[in-house]
Structure 1
Amino acid sequence: MKRWYLLYCKRGEQARAKMHLENQGLECYYPEVEIEKILRGKRQKVKEPLFPSYVFVHFDYEQGPSFTTVRSTRGVVDFIRFGAHPQEVDPALIDELEKLATHPEEPETDALPKQGEEIRVTGGQFAGIDAIFQEADGEARSIMLVKMINRPVQVSIDNKDLDI
């Protein structure tokens, strides 16, 4: 009977391990998420592993391949074990992960204010000042317009210091 197992892979070699495992006729699941990152000064959407260095594999060790064959696959370090035996993964977990991958939850659109909205800065060096929201600056900071010497100046402020 086929069962799900979790493999620990060499750093950055999950895709290689998945390819070699699939060449052996095994079903693999390697969940990825699409995130926004600022790379070389530009905002880009990139896919990253949900669980870095881990790959789920579905096979019947009694019919083959054996645990040793799977563990010896290029890019694989070992099974996640509980004692001496590889730990089985509940199939419901895989189903739930696949469901979330096909129907991702929409991120909160109200998490950050709209461009041009006035916000009170509650902490940091600009505490107590009203600023105008310009845009998000990564995940934890925002670009704000702060009036200094009768001129608006763009500054990057930590989101936890904003009264959102």
Structure 2
Amino acid sequence: MANDTTTAQWYLIQCKPRQEARAAENLRNQHFPCYCPFHTVEKIQHGKRVVTQQPLFPGYLFINLCKLTDNWHSIRSTRGVLRLVTFANQPLAVADDIIDNLQQRLASLGDTPLFEEGGKVTITDGPFKDLDAIFCKADGNERAIILLTVLHRQQQIRIPLQQLKSSP
């Protein structure tokens, strides 16, 4: 299928470090359709369990532009934008089905938990250091309940989340 220059296509923009949301907001204020895929990540920050939104492609976002009708020059001076990604000084369009596929996959993902219930974890600190256990559930933002085999019996133990890491 030949590219029609009168229809809008998706292109890739490189953003300044950690300014994807700022660039997307400023481009939308200029009436450019943007897509910056984010996913939910659960991690430990300062000893507490925190759920955050992180860009799927850090430092990049997609913009929908028409080669004939859109003013591409204002993109360069937009706050948060570093440059339009080009090859041989020509912007290369991203196929619509790639963007559609990304949107569908992210919609079906949901949240990514730090530890899966029933998953294996290793204790990294404290009196049970380097022992393997089974993650039961989070107990608030700072602690977890695990099953640890002690004297051939599984015992439920509450332990700080920061003392756990996932095991293969």
Relative distance call for 1:45 and 1:74 in structure 2 (3 A) is same
SS in 2 for 1:61: coil
1:32-89 deviation line (CA, Å, top 9, x unaligned):
00011112222121110001110100011311212x2212211111111111101111
Q: Does 1:86 align with 2:91?
A: yes
1:117-152 deviation line (CA, Å, top 9, x unaligned):
xx8x9xxxx88x7x5435589xxxxx674659xxx8
1:72-109 deviation line (CA, Å, top 9, x unaligned):
2111111111111011111111001111122227879x
Gaps of 5+ in 2: 1-6, 123-128, 139-145
Cα contact 1:27–1:58 (8 A) shared by 2: yes
SS in 2 for 1:62: coil
Name the TM-score, length of structure 1 as normaliser. 0.68
Cα contact 2:39–2:111 (8 A) shared by 1: no
Identity %: 29
Structure possessing the higher relative contact order (Cα contacts under 8 Å, 6 or more residues apart): 2
Relative distance call for 1:71 and 1:61 in structure 2 (3 A) is farther
Q: CA separation in 1, counterparts of 2:52 and 2:112?
A: 16
Identify the residue that residue 15 of structure 1 maps to in structure 2: 21
Identify the residue that residue 51 of structure 2 maps to in structure 1: 45
Cα contact 1:134–1:145 (8 A) shared by 2: no
Deviating runs (4+, > 3 A) in structure 1? 105-108, 134-137, 143-148, 152-161
SS in 2 for 1:102: helix
RMSD (CA atoms):
3.6
Name the TM-score, length of structure 2 as normaliser. 0.67
Question: Which amino acid in the other structure matches residue 16 of structure 2?
Answer: K
Question: Which amino acid in the other structure matches residue 7 of structure 1?
Answer: I
Identify the residue that residue 104 of structure 1 maps to in structure 2: 109
Gaps of 5+ in 1: 138-142
Identify the residue that residue 81 of structure 2 maps to in structure 1: 76
Identify the residue that residue 134 of structure 2 maps to in structure 1: 133
